[in-house]
Amino acid sequence: MAGGAVMAWTARNRLRGRGFERIPRWGAWSLIGTSAVVLVAAFVIPAEFMRPKAPAAVRPASTATVGFTEPTPGQHVSGQIMEVSVALTGGKVVATTSTTLTPDTGHLHLYIDDRLISMAYGATRQQVPIADLQPGPHVLRLEFVAADHGPFNPRVEASVPFVKDG
């Protein structure tokens, strides 16, 4: 859209004799036509072509299972950081996003109280910031998702309750 506007402005100034003398008059008229095409295309092309692809509608099943080795259920944590260690069996974490889905490759999504806090592309051990959490019980949830960040069907997830001390 900006390119079309710049072309139209340049052509207008050339045709009015306000600069761009090196552009021939026929070139200015060509710029006007081209800018019209560019501007129309900017508004006509559906926005869905410019958005990232949504996860596939048909979700594959996974061969993987996940679990936590740290924290343990009901563990009390304090401070700014919580050590989290995950066990992934039957699957592999891949570094790239892809629409080619396989049942054993994907990413790890980590949530606290259903709020996404991490998308791990290889780390099964992380330090998770907990400074903003209120003291009291919370739930840490882990999901192994397909390479397009969509869930497997059925979901591959685990959760563990923990308590943040005041």
How distant, in Å, are the alpha carbons of 62, 147, 165 from that of 53? 21, 12, 41
pLDDT greater at residue 83 or residue 51: 83
- Cis preceding linkage at 129, omega within 30: no
Ordered by where they begin, the domains of the chain are 2-49 (no CATH), 65-164 (2.60.40.10)
Pair of tokens at residue 22: 């090196």
Tokens of 16: 């009015």
Dump pLDDT digits (tens) for 123-134.
788 899 999 999
For residues 65 and 86, is the Cβ–Cβ distance under 8 A? no
Q: Tell me the whole-structure pTM to 2 decimals.
A: 0.65
Range with top average pLDDT, 32-46, 99-113, 118-132? 99-113
pLDDT band at 112 (very low <50, low <70, confident <90, very high): very high
CA dihedral over 107, 108, 110, 115, signed as positive or negative: positive
pLDDT in tens, 3-36: 888 988 999 999 999 888 899 999 989 999 999 9
